Amino acid sequence: MMTPAQQKAFDIGQKIMALQRRFVTHARYRELEAKFDALLYHRRAGIELGQHHEAHGIAVIGRSGSGKSTAIRRLFSRHSDLQLLADGVVRADVVSLTVPSPATLKHVGHSCLQALGYPIRRDRTSGIIWELVQNHLRQRQTMFLHLDEAQDFYSSRFRSEMQDVVNTLKSIMQNRIWPVGIILSGMPGLMDLFDLDTQLARRIEPIHFAPVSYTSDGKSIRSVVEQYAHAGCLGVEAIILQAETVRRLIHAASDEFGLVIEIIIGAIEEALVAERKTLGLRDFASAFRRRTGCIDGLNPFLSEDFLAINAGKLLSSLEREDRNWRRKREEPA
């Protein structure tokens, strides 16, 4: 039996989780969706006809907080018949993993094999490791290999090592027996990968999750605030829908759409905890303060000269901490 305080926390937690499961469709996602569907159905048609032409891929490019990882998860989940890699299931239409650290070709190959359920000794060469990766992808009938944080896969300062990465990606897509499409998601630096090899650039199409702005996205973001507040059973104070507040929200999110959504959800949680009926400016200020630990003078929702605040710097330190934590959690024991 829960206490009233525990029941309140539980109820709020359920509402917040429901909000986090929501997805806002936008132009960048629709472009990604159309391209992925074309690759998926082309590949399925080839398999049905017994033809295995070389595969192609997609590179989703965006800064931290742009929403690219969320968009890719949505992309995969919308196909109910698309089997993701899971325990106890042999077929895996999609294998998705985060590029580990250190992101050497050999280490990434080890991580792929571990994800596929085939760990091996670390004294194997990277060439043998990736041959095994391709073999196990074929056995699992994998159509797409997704590598998140892929810019780290291309962080070597030695051109020969970078070319090895390019050659490995091409060999996966060009495998004569079972070609696999490559989906990369990562920071803008990932684009440098395609400057090394024109063949790779032709096979992997970049889709940019560009920063948002008030001019192009202000109206839609105002609508998103209203939609999320309504889903959280809250009204919206008039000041929240004013142009200056929407500009403050975009700036607080460092112009990244994914962070805009996270801050909106954070503000709704603040309002629910305080048992308010409407979503107000103080809720957004509290959400940003809780997220960054900043003083009020550096809070874009409170400071008069909010454009002078480097919100990206305040957010990036926490992003690095979160990323390091995720990497440690995903490293093999």
pLDDT tens across 270-299, in order? Answer: 999 999 999 999 999 999 999 999 999 999
| Position 153 confidence tier, pLDDT thresholds 50, 70, 90 | confident
The Cα 218–Cα 100 span in angstroms is 36
Structure confidence at residue 15 (pLDDT):
96
Question: Is the pLDDT confidence value at 333 over 50?
Answer: no
Taken in order 98, 104, 107, 108, the sign of the CA dihedral is positive
| Position 332 confidence tier, pLDDT thresholds 50, 70, 90 | very low
The Cα 259–Cα 251 span in angstroms is 10
SS3 of 100-121: CCCCCHHHHHHHHHHHHCCCCC
Structure confidence at residue 154 (pLDDT):
64
Question: Is the pLDDT confidence value at 325 over 50?
Answer: no
Structure confidence at residue 317 (pLDDT):
59
Mean pLDDT, the chain, integer: 90
Q: Phi first, then psi: what are they for 234, rounded to 5°? A: -125, 150
Q: What is the dihedral of CA 275, 281, 283, 286, to 10 degrees?
A: -140
119 upstream amide cis, omega within 30 of 0: no
Q: Is the pTM of this model over 0.95?
A: no
What confidence tens digit (pLDDT) does each residue in 26-56 have? 999 999 999 999 999 999 999 999 988 899 9
pLDDT (mean) for 20-30: 93
Q: Tokens for 130, please give them.
A: 């990736």
pLDDT (mean) for 152-156: 68
pLDDT (mean) for 135-164: 84
Helices then strands (H, E): number in the chain?
13, 7
| Position 155 confidence tier, pLDDT thresholds 50, 70, 90 | low
Identify any residues that bridge with 57 across adjacent strands, giving them in sequence order: 204
The Cα 81–Cα 213 span in angstroms is 36
> In the block, which residue shows the tokens 């810019």?
151
| Position 250 confidence tier, pLDDT thresholds 50, 70, 90 | very high
Identify any residues that bridge with 60 across adjacent strands, giving them in sequence order: 185, 207
What confidence tens digit (pLDDT) does each residue in 200-225 have? 999 999 999 999 999 999 999 999 99
Question: Is the pLDDT confidence value at 318 over 80?
Answer: no
Q: Give domain 27-209's CATH architecture.
A: 3-Layer(aba) Sandwich (3.40)
Question: Is the pLDDT confidence value at 255 over 50?
Answer: yes
CB atoms within 10 A of CB 189: 13
- Locate the DSSP E strands across the chain: 57-62, 94-98, 144-148, 181-186, 204-209, 235-236, 278-279
Question: Is the pLDDT confidence value at 331 over 60?
Answer: no
